[in-house]
């Protein structure tokens, strides 16, 4: 690890200061970055947003430099299953394109929309040019990419004894190219550096500080001679933040689509079926002979989800890299659970020791739990990281499991005898899922779920509640003993069971693909300028009309 010369005892902590008072939104940094880093069409590691606050005539406009914040506590790093994304000792968050599998987990875990994945080559004119071919980076196709703070320049600077904070040849391209001196690069560990001075002498903010990433871009909004002010409450109203054309509003993520949703849908169903089967067996409510069929079915269901999500990753032949980060990634752990689950099913039927079904059940539960935590850890998507999401995933799983168990029993698929306990589990799961769903929605705004995402959730809520919670609840309750054998029970099982399964599928599909709006950007403090109430007060001792 190279070290800064002036602070030999201490590693640098690279970061940036962006002065909102200086930035003019010209996009010179954006395009200089595109040159320096050869990014593909449509990919901007650095860009500048054009914002408006207020309503005519009391309105102001400002420009916000965004990109990877090289967080001190980067939420993209622990989630990465392959270890392709790392944090260096000097704070820089790096990407290894040769390891990355392109799962997109880092991208949905970043609250700053800093990451992108491009599948395949792109050309500006639709056809390649010799220049684009010359600067083509094959290694970046199908994997995650983002701003590197021009890491190779910084490293080369240290190799040749130059200071990347002051030497424009070695500075990150955005900072060097800026025509307003709005972007300053430097070492926060060095108290003499300009970034340290600027943030020591002036008020600054970190974007989404409350999320705990400790981003290393600090924004100046007020200097000694230029006042600033807090963003008005009305600028953060639901109406304003529902405008998809507002650059502050997070875009809907596109990294995880139907294919990823399928894994949560099938995974939840299959794993919970396996769990319930194991538990029921352990409790003596299901004969051991029936387990193979049930676990087998569960295994097929889970495998279906896994196969589908496998189609989504950018570098499919590297899928085994998913196993490289068990120490922190729930996606890695999910895969390990799979690795235990299937052998456990086999094992179940080869050896018989007391409680041997438990391993299958535990692996299945581990799988379901990992799925719940995968979404929770995706910090970039407020609808996913909400506190109730893991509970909802697990509770829904139980509901789906009960539904499948009853459906499989009633249809004769599992060669099982009906037992009211199955229905009671369903009743409990339907009730708890219904309550959790309601509570999740009610707390959505408070949990920071943006209005556009809430709108998606609200749209499906009546159907989810009715078909996915109320019908199963009533149905399962009736099945606890109020309906006898016969067509009525079959009908009730079908309605309640299908409701449970489809209701779960619907909200998971919605959560993953529809309500999955990114965190968006935030600018809690603004320079004081604009018109009407937002205009700056007088400066330089203006004396007023004599």
Partner 1 sequence: MSTVKKRKISERKMVPVYCNQCVAGPDLLRVEVEDGVATRIESNYASASSHPAGGRVCVKAYGLIQKTYNPHRVKQPMKRTNPKKGREHDPGFVPISWDEALDLIAEKLKGIRARGLLDESGYPRLAFTSGGGGTPIQYMGTWPAFMSAWGKLDQGYGSGQGLKCYHSEHLYGELWHRSFVAAPDTPLCNYVIDCGNNVEASGGVQGVWRHADARVRGLKRIQVEPHLSVSAALSAEWVPIKPKTDPAFFFAMINHILLETDWRQRCDIPFLSGLTNSPYLIAPNGFYLRDPETGKPLIWDLTDQRAKPFDAPIGEPALTGSYTASGIEQGADQDRWEHQNVPVSPALQKLIDHIRPYTPEWAEKECDVPAATIRRIADEFVDHAQVGATIEIEGKTLPYRPVAIILGKTVNNGWGGYEVCWARTVLVTLVGALEVPGGLIGTMVKLNRPATSRHLSAVPMADGFMFYPFNETTEAGWQRNPDIRNAYKTLVPLVGHSPWSPALGPAHLPWLFQKEQPKNFPRQTNPEVWICYRSNPSISSLAASEVAERISEFPFTVCFAYTLDETNYLADVLLPDATDIESLQLMRIGSTKTVEVYWKHEGYAIRQPVTDRKVVDCRDMTDISTELARRVGLLKEYNEAINRGAAGVKLHGEGFDYRIDPARENSVEAIWDASARAASHELSGGGEVHDLAWFKEHGFMVREMSQLDWYLYSTIKEKGMRFELPYQERILRHGTQLARRLHGAGIEWWDRQLAEYEPLPHYASYPEIWINYAREVGRDPAEFPFWALTARSMQYSWGANAGIPLINEVATNVAGHKGVIINRSSARSMGIAEGDPVIINSPVGETRGFAVLREGIRPDTVLMIGQFDHWATPVAKDLHLPSINSLTAIALSLTDGTGSSSDLARVRIRKGDGPKRAN
Contact flag: residue 540 with partner 1 (CB under 8 A): yes
Footprint (CB under 8 A) of partner 1, residues 193-252: 223-226, 243-245
Q: Is the CB of 44 or the CB of 409 nearer to partner 1?
A: 44
Smallest separation, CB 520 to partner 1 (Å): 16
Among 6, 10, 73, 179, which residue interacts with partner 1 (rule: CB under 8 A)?
179
d(CA 280, CA 494): 21
d(CA 386, CA 390): 9
Pairing mode, if any, of strands 14-19 and 217-222?
parallel
Stretch that binds partner 1, among 26-34, 255-263, 347-355, 377-385 (CB under 8 A): 26-34
Among 8, 9, 56, 446, which residue interacts with partner 1 (rule: CB under 8 A)?
56
Smallest separation, CB 113 to partner 1 (Å): 13
Contact 190, 7 (CB under 8 A): yes
From first CA to last CA, the distance across the chain in angstroms is 65
Smallest separation, CB 51 to partner 1 (Å): 9
Instruction: Return the number of other C-beta atoms located less than 10 Å from residue 22's C-beta.
Output: 18
- Residue 303: name the closest of 329, 280, 274, 326 by CA: 274
Smallest separation, CB 510 to partner 1 (Å): 23
Contact 472, 426 (CB under 8 A): yes
Among 4, 48, 71, 175, which residue interacts with partner 1 (rule: CB under 8 A)?
48
Footprint (CB under 8 A) of partner 1, residues 81-120: 94-98
Among 14, 45, 63, 521, which residue interacts with partner 1 (rule: CB under 8 A)?
63
Among 12, 19, 206, 280, which residue interacts with partner 1 (rule: CB under 8 A)?
19
What binding mask, one character per residue, do residues 119-148 give for partner 1 by CB under 8 A, x or -?
-----xx-x-xxxx-xx-x-x--------x
Smallest separation, CB 434 to partner 1 (Å): 36
Among 4, 13, 16, 25, which residue interacts with partner 1 (rule: CB under 8 A)?
25
Contact flag: residue 176 with partner 1 (CB under 8 A): yes
C-alpha separations of 429 from 437, 462, 509 in Å? 12, 18, 20
Contact flag: residue 34 with partner 1 (CB under 8 A): yes
Q: Is the CB of 223 or the CB of 308 nearer to partner 1?
A: 223
d(CA 361, CA 283): 13
C-alpha separations of 246 from 125, 239, 242 in Å? 28, 11, 8
Q: Is the CB of 26 or the CB of 347 nearer to partner 1?
A: 26
Structure-token pair, residue 241: 């933040």
Smallest separation, CB 50 to partner 1 (Å): 4
Which run of H or E residues covers position 109?
A: helix 105-109
What binding mask, one character per residue, do residues 263-282 give for partner 1 by CB under 8 A, x or -?
--------------------
Footprint (CB under 8 A) of partner 1, residues 503-532: 528-531
Stretch that binds partner 1, among 7-15, 367-375, 470-478, 537-545 (CB under 8 A): 537-545
Contact flag: residue 11 with partner 1 (CB under 8 A): no
Among 14, 105, 112, 170, which residue interacts with partner 1 (rule: CB under 8 A)?
170
Q: Is the CB of 80 or the CB of 393 nearer to partner 1?
A: 80
Q: Is the CB of 93 or the CB of 505 nearer to partner 1?
A: 93
d(CA 472, CA 495): 7
Smallest separation, CB 438 to partner 1 (Å): 33
C-alpha separations of 206 from 74, 88, 164, 215, 450 in Å? 14, 21, 23, 6, 20
Count of residues of this chain found to bind partner 1 when the rule CB under 8 A is applied: 88
Among 17, 44, 451, 517, which residue interacts with partner 1 (rule: CB under 8 A)?
44
Contact 432, 502 (CB under 8 A): no
C-alpha separations of 173 from 30, 90, 124, 535 in Å? 9, 19, 21, 33
What binding mask, one character per residue, do residues 314-333 give for partner 1 by CB under 8 A, x or -?
--------------------
C-alpha separations of 47 from 25, 68, 133 in Å? 9, 10, 24
Q: Is the CB of 184 or the CB of 461 nearer to partner 1?
A: 184
Q: Is the CB of 65 or the CB of 393 nearer to partner 1?
A: 65
Contact flag: residue 41 with partner 1 (CB under 8 A): yes
Spell out a b/e string for 89-121, using b for 16 or more CB atoms within 10 Å of the CB, else e.
Answer: ebbbbebebebbbbbbbbbbbbbbbbbbbbeee
* Helix axes 487-509 and 389-410, enclosed angle (nearest 10): 150
Contact flag: residue 536 with partner 1 (CB under 8 A): yes
C-alpha separations of 509 from 221, 302, 382, 433 in Å? 41, 16, 16, 16
């Amino acid at each position: 690890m190279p070290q800064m010369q002036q602070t030999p005892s201490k590693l640098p902590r690279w970061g940036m200061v962006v002065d909102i008072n200086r930035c003019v939104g010209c996009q010179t940094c954006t395009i200089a970055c595109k040159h320096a880093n050869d990014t593909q069409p449509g990919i901007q590691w650095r860009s500048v947003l054009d914002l408006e606050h207020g309503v005519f005539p009391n309105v102001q406009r400002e420009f916000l430099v965004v990109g990877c914040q090289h967080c001190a506590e980067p939420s993209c790093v622990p989630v990465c299953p392959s270890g392709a994304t790392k944090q260096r000792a000097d704070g820089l968050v790096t990407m290894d394109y040769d390891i990355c599998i392109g799962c997109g987990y880092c991208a949905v875990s970043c609250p700053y929309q800093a990451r992108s994945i491009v599948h395949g080559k792109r050309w500006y004119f639709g056809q390649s040019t010799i220049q684009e071919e010359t600067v083509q980076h094959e290694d970046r196709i199908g994997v995650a990419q983002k701003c590197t703070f021009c890491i190779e320049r910084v490293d080369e600077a240290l190799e040749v004894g130059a200071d990347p904070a002051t030497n424009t040849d070695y500075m990150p391209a955005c900072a060097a190219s800026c025509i307003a001196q709005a972007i300053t690069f430097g070492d926060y560990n060095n108290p003499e550096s300009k970034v340290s001075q600027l943030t020591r002498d002036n008020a600054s903010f970190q974007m989404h500080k409350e999320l705990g990433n400790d981003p290393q871009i600090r924004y100046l909004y007020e200097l000694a001679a230029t006042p600033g002010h807090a963003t008005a409450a009305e600028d953060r109203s639901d109406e304003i933040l529902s405008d998809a054309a507002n650059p502050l509003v997070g875009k809907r993520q596109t990294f995880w689509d139907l294919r990823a949703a399928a894994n949560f849908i099938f995974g939840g169903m299959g794993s919970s079926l396996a769990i319930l089967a194991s538990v029921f067996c352990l409790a003596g409510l299901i004969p051991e002979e029936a387990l193979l069929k049930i676990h087998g079915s569960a295994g097929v269901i889970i495998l279906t989800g896994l196969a589908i999500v496998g189609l989504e990753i950018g570098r499919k032949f590297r899928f085994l890299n998913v196993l490289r980060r068990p120490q922190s990634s729930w996606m890695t752990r999910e895969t390990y659970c799979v690795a235990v689950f299937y052998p456990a099913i086999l094992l179940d039927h080869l050896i018989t020791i007391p409680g041997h079904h438990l391993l299958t059940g535990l692996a299945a539960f581990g799988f379901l739990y990992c799925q719940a935590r995968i979404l929770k850890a995706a910090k970039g998507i407020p609808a996913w990281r909400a506190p109730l999401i893991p509970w909802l995933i697990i509770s829904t799983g139980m509901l789906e499991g009960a539904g499948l168990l009853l459906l499989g029993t009633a249809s004769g698929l599992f060669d099982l005898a009906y037992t009211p306990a199955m229905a009671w589990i369903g009743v409990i799961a339907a009730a708890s899922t219904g309550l959790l769903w309601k509570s999740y929605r009610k707390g959505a705004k408070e949990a920071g779920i943006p209005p556009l995402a809430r709108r998606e959730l609200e749209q499906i809520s009546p159907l989810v509640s009715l078909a996915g919670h109320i019908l199963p609840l009533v149905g399962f309750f009736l099945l606890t003993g109020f309906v006898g054998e016969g067509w009525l029970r079959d009908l009730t099982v079908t309605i309640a069971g299908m409701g449970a399964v489809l209701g779960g599928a619907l909200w998971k599909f919605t959560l993953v693909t529809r309500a999955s709006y990114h965190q968006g950007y935030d600018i809690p403090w603004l320079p004081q300028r604009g018109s009407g109430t937002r205009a700056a007060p007088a400066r330089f001792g203006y004396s007023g009309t004599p």
